[in-house]
């Protein structure tokens, strides 16, 4: 156990695998041997590209060398001096990076408590937490109409979680037929290709003229955001679930005050730190719910996996994704 291969961004657009030291768990920590990690084709590629304003929040992350990754599934193989040995052998989900061995605090680790959830399914837990939090912050209710702009991985899950919450219809909007084809076969999910169809007319028809109660922005394109308000009803809710790169020219009178829209940010950090009777939905609770939903067959993850590769192929995968990620969805690295 003397080598710890780790994916590292050494500078913009350059990825290597470094043999680093195996970390030693400190007080309160677990040592985890990684089984699977999931590449974030949004956050990680934004950092790797280096194409963000130097005064933006992205600049905090874009300091090279950088060890990416925050979707890690593995087995506990060691514990810190004050952690119970009963953790050994447990399968856990953590925000650990793309590395064979990682450490995480026992408090932050999510136990994969259902045997019916494979490593490949479980590794989507961070993405699921983000989207579940966004759907919950959007206050999606039974019978409401939702529109989802952008059908990458987060958008695909947003459509599915809106339906699980009882939204009807859910209008799913993208410009790529390949992404639209991944949507579940469900009469209440309406696929719209924004290049071929008039989105406003399609939403108007699907909602019998009422328009969408809630819109989810998942394109990440700041230039598209103002146009997405066109499908929102008066006093509707607009949820920014993407992390747009760059600035948006925004008319607060026409797109907020006059129609009385509610604009909601939904970053993962908006999860409550602790469970309370008023809001028990921490990251841990969402991860637990996600594993239950998958194990019980209510959510199919398999169709959302586009690539499975040994971790040694990571540099090649990142080059491919930087060049063209249009066909990528869930990109999994296999470690053990």
| DSSP symbol at 53 | -
Domain assignment present for residue 280? The answer is: no
**pLDDT score recorded for residue 243:** 87
Spatial CA neighbour of 309 closest among 273, 335, 278:
335
- Looking at the chain, list the stretches that DSSP marks H as alpha helix, in order from N- to C-terminal side: 43-49, 58-61, 119-122, 125-137, 153-164, 177-180, 199-206, 225-228, 283-295, 314-323
Residue ending a domain, among 228, 253, 270, is 270
* Confidence band of 50 (pLDDT split at 50, 70, 90): confident
Query: 109 with 206, same domain?
Result: no
Domain assignment present for residue 53? The answer is: yes
Domain assignment present for residue 277? The answer is: no
Range of the domain at 239: 130-270
Tokens encoding 231: 């499908």
| DSSP symbol at 255 | I
Domain assignment present for residue 148? The answer is: yes
- Cα separation, 285 vs 276, whole angstroms: 12
Domain assignment present for residue 290? The answer is: no
**pLDDT score recorded for residue 286:** 98
Query: 27 with 146, same domain?
Result: no
13-34 mean pLDDT: 97
- Cα separation, 89 vs 78, whole angstroms: 9
278-292 mean pLDDT: 97
Q: What CATH number did the domain enclosing 203 receive?
A: 3.40.50.720
CB 71 within 8 A of CB 37: yes
Tokens encoding 60: 């905090």
Lowest mean pLDDT among 41-45, 156-160, 235-239, 252-256: 41-45
- Cα separation, 155 vs 161, whole angstroms: 10
Query: 114 with 161, same domain?
Result: no
Mean pLDDT of the chain: 95
CB 41 within 8 A of CB 97: no
Q: Where are the beta strands (DSSP E) in the chain?
A: 4-11, 14-20, 29-39, 72-79, 91-94, 101-105, 110-111, 146-149, 170-174, 189-193, 212-217, 232-240, 262-265, 305-310, 330-334
**pLDDT score recorded for residue 42:** 85
Domains in the chain: how many in total?
A: 2
Q: What is the pLDDT of residues 92-130, one digit of tens each?
A: 999 999 999 999 999 999 999 999 999 999 999 999 999
CB 68 within 8 A of CB 47: yes
Q: What is the pLDDT of residues 206-215, one digit of tens each?
A: 999 999 999 9
What is the reported pTM? 0.94
139-153 mean pLDDT: 97
Percent of the chain past pLDDT 70, that is, above it, reads 96
- Cα separation, 332 vs 300, whole angstroms: 16
Q: What is the pLDDT of residues 174-223, one digit of tens each?
A: 999 999 999 999 999 999 999 999 999 999 999 999 999 999 999 999 99
**pLDDT score recorded for residue 58:** 59
| pLDDT at residue 52 tops 90 | no
């Amino acid at each position: 156990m003397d080598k710890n291969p780790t994916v590292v961004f050494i500078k913009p657009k350059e990825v290597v695998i470094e043999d680093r030291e195996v970390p030693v768990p400190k007080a309160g920590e677990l040592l985890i041997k990684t089984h699977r990690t999931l590449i974030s084709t949004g956050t990680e590629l934004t950092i790797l590209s280096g194409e963000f304003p130097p005064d933006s929040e992205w600049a905090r992350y874009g300091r090279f060398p950088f060890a990416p990754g925050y979707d890690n599934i593995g087995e506990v193989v060691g514990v810190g001096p004050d952690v119970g040995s009963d953790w050994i052998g447990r399968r856990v989900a953590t925000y650990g990076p793309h590395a064979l061995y990682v450490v995480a605090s026992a408090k932050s680790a999510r136990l994969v408590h259902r045997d019916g959830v494979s490593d490949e399914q479980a590794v989507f837990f961070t993405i699921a937490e983000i989207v579940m939090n966004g759907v919950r912050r959007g206050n999606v209710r039974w019978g409401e109409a939702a529109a989802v702009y952008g059908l990458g991985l987060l958008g695909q899950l947003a459509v599915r979680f809106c339906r699980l919450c009882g939204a009807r219809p859910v209008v799913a909007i993208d410009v790529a037929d390949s992404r639209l084809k991944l949507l579940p076969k469900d009469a209440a999910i309406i696929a719209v290709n924004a290049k071929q169809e008039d989105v406003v007319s399609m939403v108007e028809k699907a909602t019998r003229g009422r328009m969408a109660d809630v819109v989810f922005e998942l394109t990440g394109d700041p230039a598209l955001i103002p146009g997405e308000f066109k499908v929102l009803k008066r006093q509707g809710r607009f949820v920014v679930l993407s992390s747009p790169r760059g600035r948006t020219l925004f008319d607060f009178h026409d797109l907020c005050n006059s129609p009385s829209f509610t604009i909601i940010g939904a970053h993962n950090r908006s999860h409550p730190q602790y469970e309370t009777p008023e809001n028990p939905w921490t990251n841990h609770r969402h991860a637990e719910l996600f594993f239950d939903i998958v194990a019980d067959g209510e959510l199919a993850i398999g169709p959302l996996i586009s690539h499975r590769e040994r971790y040694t192929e990571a540099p090649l995968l990142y080059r491919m994704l930087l060049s063209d990620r249009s066909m990528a969805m869930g990109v999994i690295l296999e470690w053990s």
